[in-house]
């Protein structure tokens, strides 16, 4: 029985990345609280908008950390179903396959299993989030000039984890009764990247129909 396994706590050890915490009392923490409060209102289009007088880089940074944590948690619930055997390649349906390269350690894209790819991807994202020169947590430390392009790459890659979960692991998501949680998280993500034009339309193709379905009701 999946749900008893899920609640027995044997699962929690499987989530492979620690949650990235935004320091309490910091301005970014206030922004995160603001984001959570507006999300609670249920209007996602409003919730993703840049709050008045705030810095766009900082808003994108806070939300990127939040999406990393959400996706980390969602993927953590289905890792038992995403194995070398079940997912020998990192795919999002039959038409889309991803090969891993980070441009530094692995320059030439390599074909690898989905769990391996996602481990590479989440480790890479976490390294970016932990880099104080890219994601400064201290007040008054400026964001680097290339911040937006780094954030776009992070979000583009995080999207692939959603795409893989939706295409290859939707059954366990339903069994675990995580469907509403996944949809809400993904919808928030999509509204956010649409609001600030952060992911190229072509990259979103594997989930285009779903995106249209989730966003059409809120125009």
Binding region for Zn(2+): 82, 87, 164, 169
Tokens of 133: 């020169």
First and final CA of the chain: distance in angstroms?
40
Ordered alpha helix ranges (H), the chain: 2-7, 27-40, 44-48, 56-78, 114-130, 147-168, 170-175, 179-195, 208-216
Q: How many CB atoms lie within 10 A of CB 155?
A: 22
- Look at residues 177, 208, 217, 5 and name the one whose alpha carbon lies nearest to residue 95: 208
- Using CA atoms, how far apart are residues 19 and 37, in angstroms rounded to an integer? 20
Question: How far does CA 67 lie from the centroid of its chain?
Answer: 4
Contact 115, 85 (CB under 8 A): no
Annotated binding site: 82, 87, 164, 169
- Using CA atoms, how far apart are residues 70 and 88, in angstroms rounded to an integer? 24
């Amino acid at each position: 029985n999946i749900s008893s396994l899920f609640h027995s706590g044997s699962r929690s050890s499987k989530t492979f990345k620690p949650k990235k915490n935004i320091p309490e009392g910091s301005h970014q923490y206030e922004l995160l609280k603001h984001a959570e409060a507006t999300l609670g209102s249920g209007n996602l289009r409003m919730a993703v908008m840049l709050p008045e007088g705030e810095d766009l880089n900082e808003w994108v940074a806070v939300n990127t950390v939040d999406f990393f944590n959400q996706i980390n948690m969602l993927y953590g619930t289905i890792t038992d179903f995403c194995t070398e055997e079940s997912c020998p390649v990192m795919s999002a349906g039959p038409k889309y396959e991803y090969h891993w390269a980070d441009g530094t350690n692995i320059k030439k894209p390599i074909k690898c299993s989905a769990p391996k790819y996602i481990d590479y991807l989440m480790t890479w994202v976490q390294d970016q989030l932990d880099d104080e020169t890219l994601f400064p947590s201290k007040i008054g430390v400026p964001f680097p000039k290339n911040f937006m392009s780094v954030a776009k790459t992070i979000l583009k890659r995080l999207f692939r984890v959603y795409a893989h979960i939706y295409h290859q692991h939707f059954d366990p998501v339903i069994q675990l009764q995580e469907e509403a949680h996944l949809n809400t998280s993904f919808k928030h993500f999509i509204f956010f990247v649409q609001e600030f034009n952060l992911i190229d339309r072509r990259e979103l193709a594997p989930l285009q129909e779903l995106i249209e379905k989730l966003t059409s009701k809120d125009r």
